[in-house]
Amino acid sequence: MQWISFLSEYLIPLVLFYITGFAVLQKRPVFDDFMEGARMGLRTVVGILPTLIGLMTAVGVLRASGFLDALSALLEGPASVLRIPAQVVPVILVRLVSSSAATGLLLDIFRTEGPDSAVGMMVSILESCTETVFYTMSVYFMAVKVTKTRWTLAGALAATAGGIAASIFLS
Amino acid sequence: MLNGLWAFMMLIGLVWAAFHGNLAAVTEGAVASAGEAVTLCLSMLGIMSFWTGILEVGRRAGLMEQLSRGLRPLLTFLFPRIPAGHPALQSISVNMIANVLGLGWAATPAGLKAMQELEELEEERRAAWQEAGPRAIRRGRASKGLLPGVCPVSRGCASDEMCTFLVVNISSLQLIPVNMIAYRAQYGSQDPMAVVGPALAATAVSTLVGILFCKIRSAV
Per-residue pLDDT averaged across A127-137, rounded? Answer: 93
| Distances in whole angstroms, Cα of residue B150 to Cα of each of B5, B126, B146 | 42, 11, 7
- The fraction of chain A above a pLDDT of 90, given in percent, is 74
Indicate whether B80 and B171 sit together in one domain: yes
Q: What span, in angstroms and rounded, lies between the C-alpha atoms of B119 and A52?
A: 36
List, for residues B112-169, the tens digit of each pLDDT value. 999 999 999 999 888 888 877 666 555 555 555 555 556 788 889 999 999 999 999 9
Q: By mean pLDDT, which of A59-73, B35-49, B132-146, B185-199 is the weakest?
A: B132-146
The answer to whether the Cβ–Cβ distance between B111 and A140 falls below 8 Å is yes
Question: Which one of B50, B174, B206 would you mutate to disrupt binding with A, by most A Cβ within 10 Å of its Cβ?
Answer: B206
Is residue B147 a part of any domain in this protein?
no
Provide φ and ψ at B127, rounded to 5°.
-65, -45
The answer to whether the Cβ–Cβ distance between B210 and A156 falls below 8 Å is yes
pLDDT the model gives residue B138: 56
**A118 to chain B nearest CA, in Å?**
12
Q: What span, in angstroms and rounded, lies between the C-alpha atoms of B75 and B95?
A: 12
Indicate whether B93 and B19 sit together in one domain: no
pLDDT the model gives residue B150: 64
Decide if A98 contacts B1 (C-beta within 8 A). Answer: yes
Say which DSSP state A140 is in.
H
The answer to whether the Cβ–Cβ distance between A130 and B206 falls below 8 Å is yes
Residues of B in contact with A50 (CB under 8 A): none
Residues 6+ apart with CB under 8 A from B108: A139, B95
Q: Which residue of A has its CA nearest to B56?
A: A37
CB of B206 within 8 Å of any CB in chain A? yes
ipTM exceeds 0.85: yes
pLDDT the model gives residue B180: 95
Indicate whether B4 and B72 sit together in one domain: no
- The fraction of chain A above a pLDDT of 70, given in percent, is 99
List, for residues A81-124, the tens digit of each pLDDT value. 888 999 999 999 999 988 889 999 999 999 999 999 999 999 99
Give the pLDDT band of residue A57 (cuts 50, 70, 90): very high
Tally the domains of chain B: 2
Question: How many CB contacts within 8 angstroms connect chain A with chain B?
Answer: 360
Is residue B16 a part of any domain in this protein?
yes
Residues 6+ apart with CB under 8 A from B83: B144, B145
CB of B119 within 8 Å of any CB in chain A? yes
Indicate whether B4 and B99 sit together in one domain: no
Residue type, A63: R
- Higher pLDDT pick, B147 / B218: B218
pLDDT the model gives residue B151: 73
Nearest-by-Cβ selection for A56 from B33, B49, B162: B33
Decide if B57 contacts A17 (C-beta within 8 A). Answer: no
Is residue B208 a part of any domain in this protein?
yes
Give the pLDDT band of residue A136 (cuts 50, 70, 90): very high
Is residue B41 a part of any domain in this protein?
yes
| Distances in whole angstroms, Cα of residue A14 to Cα of each of A6, B19, B100 | 12, 54, 15
List, for residues B42-88, the tens digit of each pLDDT value. 988 998 899 999 999 999 999 988 888 889 999 999 999 898 889 99
**A113 to chain B nearest CA, in Å?**
10
Domain that holds residue B15: 1-45
Q: What span, in angstroms and rounded, lies between the C-alpha atoms of A164 and A130?
A: 8
Q: Which residue of B has its CA nearest to A121?
A: B195
Residue type, A152: T
pLDDT the model gives residue A38: 94
Indicate whether B40 and B77 sit together in one domain: no
The answer to whether the Cβ–Cβ distance between B50 and A41 falls below 8 Å is yes
Residues of B in contact with A40 (CB under 8 A): 52, 56
Is residue B34 a part of any domain in this protein?
yes
Say which DSSP state A129 is in.
S
CB of A39 within 8 Å of any CB in chain B? yes
pLDDT the model gives residue A76: 86
Residues constituting chain A: 171
Q: What span, in angstroms and rounded, lies between the C-alpha atoms of B150 and B82?
A: 14
Is residue B194 a part of any domain in this protein?
yes
Indicate whether B96 and B41 sit together in one domain: no
Q: What is the mean pLDDT of chain B?
A: 88
Q: Strand pairing partners for B32?
A: none
Q: How many CB atoms neighbour CB A14 within 10 A?
A: 11
CB of B84 within 8 Å of any CB in chain A? no
Is residue B97 a part of any domain in this protein?
yes
Q: What span, in angstroms and rounded, lies between the C-alpha atoms of B54 and B13?
A: 41
